[in-house]
Chain A
Amino acid sequence: DAKTTQPNSMESNEEEPVHLPCNHSTISGTDYIHWYRQLPSQGPEYVIHGLTSNVNNRMASLAIAEDRKSSTLILHRATLRDAAVYYCILRGYSGGGADGLTFGKGTHLIIQP
């Protein structure tokens, strides 16, 4: 599976937008970009996914670079409840296996009140 690179941690203030970057320079044309987050003491939860176009849902927006080698998860107005570890994952055809549901270290997002 193609790998992703994320900053270890980021800090933001409450009620401000947060931009979480992810680099995936070896992405293939069939890989979907997924984001999950894991709140303290909980299992991961799905946030958003996309292929080529930018995507919006009730939780966040996903901005995908034109060459697809990077993407940015955007939280429009962070709250204290958004403090979590955010994972950027590529899901593609891996010739078998778990459809690329493989987690890296993620970005630990800290929200300051």
Chain B
Amino acid sequence: EADIYQTPRYLVIGTGKKITLECSQTMGHDKMYWYQQDPGMELHLIHYSYGVNSTEKGDLSSESTVSRIRTEHFPLTLESARPSHTSQYLCASSEFGRATEAFFGQGTRLTVV
């Protein structure tokens, strides 16, 4: 059973609101990732982190920002939500290395109206 949690599972919010999607893991993993996935489409990496105080942009440009103040916590923030941000956001974590398993959360399905 994966020990990585995302909240909320579903969020419907109005345009212009600030939102924070939460992601926490209890496995002590240094590496964490955020992906964006539209229905029926592939996952796109938008942010990742090597550890505390490390954040990097992924392959897909995103208006969201992330922070990593604690090892177990990797929240994603949208300062002003827009309908174009409507998507599913998935968080993952893993240990360092090419032979390690990544664990994914259940995802947050965001709808901006």
Contact = CB atoms under 8 A, between A and B. Distances in A.
Contact of A99 (B44, B59, B97): B97
A104 interface: yes
B107 A42 contact: yes
Contacts of A46: 101-103
Looking at chain A's contact residues, the main secondary structure is: loop
Interface string B38-50: 0000111100100
A44 B48 CA distance: 17
B105 A43 contact: yes
- Interface extent on A, as a size class? 20 to 34
Which of B56, B96, B98 has the largest count of A CB atoms less than 10 A from its CB?
Answer: B98
Interface string A74-113: 0000000000000000011100011111111110000000
A30 B92 CA distance: 23
A101 B94 contact: yes
A11 interface: no
Interface string B66-110: 000000000000000000000000101010111101111111000
Contacts of B97: 99
B51 interface: no
B55 to A, nearest CB: 12
B45 A98 contact: yes
